[in-house]
Amino acid sequence: MIQRKIPGWHRVQRAILLSTALGVMIHELAHKEMAEEFNLNVQEVKYFQMEGGKAGYVKHDTPRTYTGMVAVSIAPFILNTAVAYTAFVIGGGYVFYHGPSALQHWEWVLVGADIWIGISAALHAFPSRQDIGNIWAAAKSIWKETKIPILQPIVAKLKNHNIVFQLILLPLWIPVLLIRGAIFSLWNYRVMLSFPVMGILVVLDKFKPFGSHFVFTAALLWSSYYSLSFIFPHTTP
């Protein structure tokens, strides 16, 4: 990872985690509230910790539906993003409305605190790898359960043969998988609709060691500034 090549990065990482602890708390709160919304029993909540390998966690029952699994897993992304963008708009809007030169020192402190809340929330918006893994596992389980009675004898015979025979019969596998995929899409359209979002989250998580969470935070800051520049076209901080 790029960060590991930076001298003293571990201390920097711990300092960033400690200074943005509020974002972790919001993240775990989103998990907890969504789990309770789906009537799941929450056994334990750790809103923030510096040790243990995880900044925070929520232990709860496994959601009974795919919708519940997705909702509980991506709740932090939605809530943290909403909190971050709202904080940026409020802080930036205050500066745009009054003008930078008109603000007192204490007002700049409040604006800075507001922006810090937004940055803290944005940096910890991404679902954990465990959250993403839970969704993929649920999707795979549904895929395995999607059986087509008329095709089951064909699938069983193909699986019972060795790999060489399966390769020979590969032309039969393709239409079987296509038909199964089409039926899966019709029966489980919610799963299919969630795939684009999950794909984006997977990419963001994979590139987190390269700073994707910092890029995401900067993008939210820029989008809030861009929105405010339309609302207050005659004021430029």
Mark 24-37 as b/e (b = at least 16 C-beta within 10 Å): bbbbbbbbbebbee
In the three-class reduction of DSSP (H, G, I as helix; E, B as strand; rest coil), residue 59 is classed as strand
Question: pLDDT at position 9, please?
Answer: 63
pTM over 0.85: no
- Any idea where the domains of the chain sit in the sequence? 3-128+208-231
Supply the pLDDT for residue 164. 62
Contact by Cβ (8 Å): 26, 79: yes
pLDDT at 175: 72
42 phi, psi to nearest 5 deg? -95, 115
Q: Cβ atoms within 10 A of the Cβ of 217, count?
A: 23
Residue identified by tokens 């708009």 is 89
Alpha-carbon distance of 109 to 114, in angstroms, equals 9
CA distances from residue 177 to 144, 174, 191 in whole angstroms, order as listed: 12, 5, 17
What is the amino acid identity at position 201? L
Q: Do 24 and 119 touch, CB atoms closer than 8 A?
A: no
Task: Please give the pLDDT value at position 231.
Answer: 83
Helix (H, G, I), strand (E, B) or coil at 28: helix
- Total number of residues shown for the chain: 237
pLDDT value of residue 106: 93
Per-residue pLDDT of the chain (237 residues; tens, 9 = 90+): 455 556 566 787 888 888 999 999 999 999 999 999 999 999 999 998 887 778 888 999 988 888 888 899 999 999 999 999 999 999 999 998 888 888 899 999 999 999 999 999 999 999 888 888 888 888 877 767 666 555 556 556 556 655 665 566 556 667 766 766 676 666 677 777 777 888 888 888 888 888 899 999 999 999 999 998 888 776 666
User: Which pLDDT belongs to residue 137?
Assistant: 84
